[in-house]
Chains A and B, each alone.
Chain A
Amino acid sequence: MDSFIQSLNSFFAQPDLGGAYSPFLSYLVFFTRYMLPIAALAILLRCAYSMLRERYEPEVWGYLDLPDGSRVPLRHLECTVGRAKSSDVTLDGSWVAATQLVLIRDESGNWTAYDIAMSGGAEINGVLIPQEGARLEDGDLITIGKSELRFFNLTEEERGIISKRRTSPGKQISPGTMFRFVSVFQFLVMYQLLYFGDEQYRAQIALSFVSLCVIMWLYYIIMRAIGRRGFEVEALAFFLSTIGLSVAASSTPENMLKQVLLLLAGIILFLILGWWLRDLKRVKAMRFPAASVAVGLLAVNLLFGSELFGAKNWLSVAGVTFQPSEFVKIVYIYAGAATLDRLYRGKNLLLYIVFSAVCVGALAIMGDFGSALVFFATFLVISFMRSGNIATVVLAVSGAGLAGFLALSIRPHIAERFATWGHVWQDVNGEGFQQTRALSAAASGGLFGLGAGNGWLHKIVAADTDLVFGMVTEELGFIIGVCAIAAIIILAAFVVHNASQGRSAFYVIAGTAAGSMMMVQLALNVFGSLDLLPFTGVTFPFVSIGGSSLISCWALLAFIKATDTRKSASFIMKDPSKMHDYNEFSERTYIDEANEDESQDNEDTEANGEEKGRNLFDRRSEKRGRAK
């Protein structure tokens, strides 16, 4: 392998290929600076349009007939019934609690009703619903005080048809084009790096970028082969990873191939975690063991960790150095998210608070205050999502504020960073050393950058991690820097957009938490280096150099991917028509039809589906009429 790289290097080292000798080449490379933002904006706009504009048909999993004779579809796997306006099914009557019932559909298609009202009193077919919930069968009568509801499960036939009506992500924007734009972006960055970068490492640069491109397209081919057509989330991650690889090429070109391998590891973890998240039952079962592993990992880190860059958050096992806190992030969200029934019970939140305190405390002891802050912000998001209680959040923030003051008084270097904040230009060679250099380099790059590999900030300590926004802006330009931030915001906005379609509270909470965690980390990283916030030294998701961080970002992406309920979009979401219970159903026609329209990006099936859907509803009401 080494000799191969060397021969490649000697080929690339020919002066004509990229030296500053040819005026034509220098004009060409100058011109590519303006093409980069165009490619990046094309990626972002296409992704954002397709992720945020798409209005897809909601899923229907069952029906409730209300006392007033109307029929309400159950649109999520978890639904609430109560007097509150925010309930999924709203009932009138003083005898109904604000949130009376939680209805949950499990993997095998069975519904369970939980009475979570303090007073209780809801009955199914005249039998009081017990504490552990009661099974709901098709046609069951639910009584809450004077209100009577009738539950109808979805027949398999209906499910197939409703599934077909779901909008597929490929309908509006070709998923391949997005990846093609990412490839163009990759090519342009690679060209600049070959021109400006270290001549010694041209082979590594070329090989790494080609490998990244191949990995990306292999992923695409495999996913298309299993009938998936939603790739925006991955396209954004590949876009950010490309910027990360460009940073690596400038700062540590000798380790570029390693960076690509780590990226591959991240993608594999993304796929494994995604596959694991498909089944909520096993997900729920593993929450407690996962949290225990996380606590154990932090304990080992505290005991045997080594100190690097002022924080004792590194662990070295068999020659491989990694940051356990990065992996704990994944578990932290995994263990923090919960399904709707638990949410209203509240008793699990206490355990989670203890778990959070352990995580944040351990990180603070290690001296990794940046990560501690990221965990704390994520804790706020998750606990708010779970409790909906702003008072709790305010209480937590004030508690953390006190703890923060305590930390400031114990750790003088943190206090110094606060003192420097906003005054970096008064001490450019002391406390403001890193920030002033990041700002200077960023301004030097202008909107279009000096060209990948043409900067100097990479010579400064931690340029490729803590100051990475300065490096990206210097070499690739402010527009690309903002695009990288926008990519993360789009991922988070996508999760929020998907929340109304979410099947389970678990996915929505986990996805929102992952998106928020990335945004908080981003804010601390970017604004810390630009002197808009105190310097904390956390990583820029996907872009900062560092294996642990990169792998954990891809894993967090699985939580975001898991909120995508569009038809055939996410490999994590099962197609309703292909879910466990449905497969037992012998009639194959719907499956075949479903496969057929997946292979052609057609518009007419939607119209068909709607028609069939209407027939279906008509039929249902006829049937009901007869039943009465």
Chain B
Amino acid sequence: MKKIKNRAYFAMLIALGLTFGIAIFTVRLFTDGKDWVMLRANQSVFNEGVMDTGTVTDRNGVVLASAGNGVYSYAEDETIRKSCFHAVGDYSGNIGSGAVNAYDYKLAGYDFFNGVASISGSGGKVKLSIDSELNAVAYKALNGRKGAVLVSNYKTGEILCMVSTPSFDPNNPPDLTNPAYEGVFINRALGATYTPGSIFKLVTLSAAIENIPDLYTRTFTCTGSVQVGGDTVHCTGVHGQQTIEQALANSCNSAFSEISQELGADKIYEYAEKFGFCKSLTISSIETAAGSIDKADAGTSNLSWMGIGQYNDLISPIAMLRFVSAIANDGTAKGPVLLKGAYAGSTRLLETETAQKIQEFMSYNVAYAYGQWQFPNLNICAKTGTAEVGDGTSHAWFVGFLKDEENPLAFTVIIENGGGGLANAGPVANAVLQAAVAK
């Protein structure tokens, strides 16, 4: 019997195998459970493949979208529905970067302990960092033009306003074959790239400050155009003798052509790459469109245009927002993030001294060139851009920040084919910033 007893112990090997298997499964459940619940066939989360649980709100708790028991709904106010359309996304899944799709795993309300069970039965909550009222102001200010508006707090990295147009009311979808709705499902703030035009001079300037020792003592002469490699680089005016400060305020192509030729394509590219203009960024786990900068050959007019923000330069509005945020924040970019209270990582893009110098220059831009009267009561630092797109029209850019401890706001406005940057994008930025400061 002793023998039989000893042999019986071998049966416990099976028990050991069972325990081992369960241990493996527990580990997998812990690491992969959040992906498993997102199976479209999971009827606790989806209803026929459509998100069926969870609520998206703005930073103040205003409900922007909610779903449950086979029914979903968007914000109550129509302008908020339109202005937050791209940030919130749609239940049909047309906008991949919208919260409903990008944060579906949060809306499922999954955690290892409770699975997708919640005491209210309404799933998880996603609190966006955007303020739906600011979005509504920006949407109205864009006034039917195509474009994007971004405003963030450069100290916390939270994006407070993110609007992309064209947009529509998800409760009353229009006829989307109308050309006015072309690309309506693209969030232009995150998912599009544009020719930057003169706002790119901030990048070239950063490189110049750190690489041209006598930059501040130099004089830049503008005769309305400059000959480079047999081509003519035209300027918007005849600016005469200028300091670097004045050249930026005049957005003088002649001056920046000279600087670009001196820096060379590699140096400009190096800075653009460091500032995140050549790659895709990850904003609260959303992948943005990747910008691209092509290096032009030395001694050609292309190199001049590369440093001026034309040539083959393409950047995304969100990358520009991050860059001006870094300038405003003495060289360190926070985030940006789209979720309220989310941890925003810090990245140093510029030396503190460089950043502070550019701050002065951008403040001078407003005082010397743009007109403080256009931005009442705002201590604003900015740069305009009027990017030629080749068909005779140009994108209107207006980027910058408020030098204001109470309202540390950075902004980027772009209007597609909107004409002059200051005249068209400037008022949109002013409207949103006035509303944000008034809060």
A residues lining the B interface (CB < 8 Å)? 20, 26-27, 30, 33, 75-76, 78-80, 86-88, 340, 343, 377, 381, 384-385, 388, 428-429, 436-437, 439-451, 455-456, 459, 474, 477-478, 482, 485, 489, 492-493, 495-496, 499-500, 502, 505, 508-509, 512, 515-516, 519-520, 522-523, 526-527, 530, 532-533
Given known pairs A80-B2, A88-B2, A489-B19, the reply for A384 and B7 (CB within 8 Å) is: yes
- B41 near A428 (CB under 8 angstroms)? yes
Cα distance A78–B2 in the bound complex, in angstroms: 10
Q: Contacts A87-B2, A443-B37 given: A523-B113 contact, CB under 8 Å?
A: no
Supposing A502-B4, A527-B21 touch, asked if A30 and B14 sit within 8 A by C-beta, the answer is no
Q: Which residues of B have CB within 8 Å of A76?
A: 1
Q: Establish whether residues A526 and B21, one from each chain, have CB atoms under 8 Å apart when the complex forms.
A: yes
> Distance (Å) between the CB of B30 and the closest chain A CB?
10
CB distance from A140 to the nearest CB of B (A): 21
Q: Report how many A-B pairs have Cβ atoms within 8 Å.
A: 162
CB distance from B203 to the nearest CB of A (A): 43
Known contacts: A381-B11, A508-B8. The answer to whether A446 contacts B3 by CB under 8 A is no
Q: State in angstroms the CA–CA spacing of A436 and B121 once bound together.
A: 24
B111 sits at the interface (CB 8 A): yes
Find out whether the CB atom of A384 lies under 8 angstroms from the CB atom of B1: no
In the bound complex, residues from chain B placing their C-beta under 8 Å from that of A343 are 4
User: When chains A and B are docked, how far (Å) is the Cα of A428 from the Cα of B46?
Assistant: 15
A495 touches which one: B8, B32, B45 (CB < 8 A)? B8
Contact A445 B121 (CB under 8 A): no
- Pick 20 A–B contacts, CB within 8 A, sort by A: A76-B1, A86-B6, A437-B39, A437-B41, A440-B38, A440-B41, A443-B36, A444-B45, A450-B116, A456-B44, A459-B43, A478-B29, A489-B18, A492-B15, A508-B8, A516-B14, A520-B14, A522-B18, A526-B21, A532-B21
Closest to A516 in B: B11
SS class of chain B's interface: helix, strand, loop or mixed? helix
Task: Please name 8 further chain A to chain B contacts, defined as beta carbons within 8 Å, in addition to the given A27-B119, A499-B4, A502-B4, sorted by A numbering.
Answer: A78-B1, A86-B6, A384-B10, A388-B7, A437-B41, A440-B36, A443-B29, A449-B115
Q: Which residues in B have some Cβ–Cβ distance to A below 8 Å?
A: 1-12, 14-15, 17-19, 21-22, 24-26, 29, 32-34, 36-39, 41-45, 110-117, 119, 121
- The answer to whether B4 and A440 have CB atoms under 8 Å apart is no
Which A residues touch B22, using CB under 8 A?
Answer: 482, 485, 526
> In the complex, what residues of B have CB within 8 A of residue A508's CB?
1, 4-5, 8
CB pair A444 B4 closer than 8 Å: no
Whether A512 and B42, one on each chain, are in contact in the complex, defined by CB atoms closer than 8 angstroms, is no
**Could you tell me the distance in whole angstroms from the C-beta of A208 to the nearest C-beta in chain B?**
25
Identify the closest chain B residue to A497 (Cβ): B8
**Which residue among B1, B5, B37 has the maximum number of chain A CB atoms within 10 Å of its CB?**
B1
Residues of the A chain whose Cβ atoms lie less than 8 Å from the Cβ of B29: 442-443, 478
User: Is B12 within 8 A of A80, CB to CB?
Assistant: no
Q: How far is the CB of A302 from chain B (nearest CB, A)?
A: 29
Which residues from chain A contact B42 at a C-beta distance below 8 Å?
437, 440-441, 444, 456
From A474, A505, A522, B4 is in contact (CB under 8 Å) with A505
Please pick, from B1, B25, B26, B113, the residue contacting A79 in the complex, using a CB distance under 8 A: B1
Nearest Cβ in chain B — how far from A450, in angstroms?
A: 5
Complex CA–CA separation, A449 to B18 (angstroms): 22
B3 to chain A, nearest CB (A): 5
Q: A385-B8, A492-B14, A532-B25 are in contact. Are A446 and B117 (CB under 8 A)?
A: yes
A519 to B136, CA, bound (A): 63
